[in-house]
């Protein structure tokens, strides 16, 4: 399943790069940042393999990836900036939980949002840098940065730095193992499986914790006040 998906992805990446060169890589990076489910942990090794095959410059892949990431991050930052803290807070209050039968389970309390905003205002640079090294969230972390109106100089600096630390190893991975593409597929399969397991465990733990807290608050109403 993974190998067939990678073959389709490789065909798409190859056609975009053949059409636009390093500009095509920048477009792919932009798309990957705007749509978090796009697997950049596959895209950059594929681009690295193309550099190994001599179809594109290795340095060009890394630079174009960073530029595309910066453009995508700027768009997300602008969305967060325009929303502002009040609108985002109202969004969390409205959609931070779900009703299951007679229970209302809160996944993201308004207190969690307030704590996250305080963390972003005091440690925003660290949060942006670390999030850039994680799949799925490295693009959308720019939204809370915009909501918190993080200064643009550190925002761009740490976004660039984090993007380099994310893109460069993945691209080099594909470049140096270009002649062993089957091995890359096996390793990426393991990588994907580990991340899915960790994310799944985290979600289950979070849901169970919220359910238990909700029941505890119902049994002891005074604790919730």
Which position has the higher pLDDT, 213 or 155? 155
Q: What are phi and psi of 100, to 5 degrees?
A: -115, 105
pLDDT of residue 53: 85
Determine contact, residues 104/97, Cβ cutoff 8 Å: yes
Flag whether 44 is in a domain: yes
CA 166/CA 43 separation, integer angstroms: 12
**Does the residue 63 lie in any domain?**
yes
Q: Is residue 194 part of a domain?
A: no
Contacts 24+ apart (CB under 8 A), 110-114: 113/88, 113/89, 114/89
Contact between 129 and 158 under an 8 Å Cβ cutoff? The reply is yes
Residue 23 vs residues 123, 142, 175: alpha-carbon distances, Å: 33, 23, 19
3-state secondary structure of 60: helix
Instruction: Tell me, yes or no, whether 104 lies in a domain.
Output: yes
Exposure b/e, 120-158, CB count within 10 A at least 16 = b: beeebbebbbebbeebeebbbbbbbbbbbbbeeeebbeb
59 pLDDT higher than 60: yes
State how many domains the chain has. 1
Q: Is the pLDDT of residue 4 over 60?
A: no
pLDDT at 75: 94
Residue 223: helix, strand or coil by DSSP? helix
Q: How confident is the model at residue 43 (pLDDT cuts 50, 70, 90)?
A: confident
Q: Does the pLDDT of residue 111 top 80, yes or no?
A: no
pLDDT band at 17 (very low <50, low <70, confident <90, very high): confident
Look at residue 222 and tell me if it is in a domain.
no
- Which H/E stretch holds residue 106? strand 103-106
Q: Average pLDDT over the chain, rounded to whole? A: 78
Mean pLDDT of 97-123: 68
User: Mean pLDDT across the stretch 114-140?
Assistant: 81
Which backbone phi and psi does 133 adopt, to 5 degrees?
Answer: -95, 5
At 156 the pLDDT is: 94
Higher local confidence (pLDDT), 161 or 84: 161
198 inside domain: no
Determine the length of the chain.
225
Model pTM above 0.85: no
How confident is residue 39, by pLDDT bands cut at 50, 70 and 90? Answer: low
Weakest-pLDDT range from 72-76, 130-134, 140-144, 220-224: 220-224
* Mean pLDDT, range 28-48, rounded to an integer: 79
**171-204 pLDDT, tens digit each:** 898 888 776 766 666 676 676 677 678 878 887 8
Q: Domain of residue 45: give its range.
A: 2-179
**Residue 124 scores a pLDDT above 80:** yes
109 within domain boundaries: yes
Dist CA 116 CA 134 (whole Å)? 18
Burial class (CB in 10 A: 0-12, 13-18, 19+), 7: exposed
Closest CA to 93 of 107, 103, 82: 107
Q: Can you read off the two tokens belonging to residue 81?
A: 């900036």
Q: Would residue 219 count as lying in a domain?
A: no
């Amino acid at each position: 399943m993974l190998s067939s998906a990678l073959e389709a992805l490789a065909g798409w990446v190859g056609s975009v790069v053949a059409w636009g060169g390093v500009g095509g890589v920048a477009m792919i990076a932009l798309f990957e940042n705007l749509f978090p489910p796009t697997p950049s942990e596959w895209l950059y090794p594929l681009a690295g393999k193309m550099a190994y095959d001599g179809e594109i410059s290795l340095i060009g892949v890394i630079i174009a990836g960073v530029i595309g990431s910066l453009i995508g991050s700027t768009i997300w930052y602008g969305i967060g900036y325009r929303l502002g803290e009040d609108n985002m807070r109202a969004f969390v209050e409205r959609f931070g939980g779900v009703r299951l039968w007679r229970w209302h389970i809160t996944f993201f309390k308004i207190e969690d949002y307030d704590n996250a905003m305080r963390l972003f205002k005091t440690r925003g640079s660290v949060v942006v840098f670390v999030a850039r090294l994680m799949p799925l969230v490295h693009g959308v972390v720019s939204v809370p940065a915009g909501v918190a109106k993080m200064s643009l100089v550190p925002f761009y600096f740490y976004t660039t730095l984090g993007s380099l630390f994310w893109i460069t190893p993945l691209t080099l991975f594909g470049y140096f193992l270009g002649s062993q593409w089957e091995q890359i597929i096996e390793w990426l399969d393991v990588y994907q499986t580990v991340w899915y397991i960790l994310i799944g465990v985290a979600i289950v733990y979070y849901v169970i914790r919220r359910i238990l807290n909700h029941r505890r608050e119902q049994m002891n109403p005074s604790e919730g006040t």
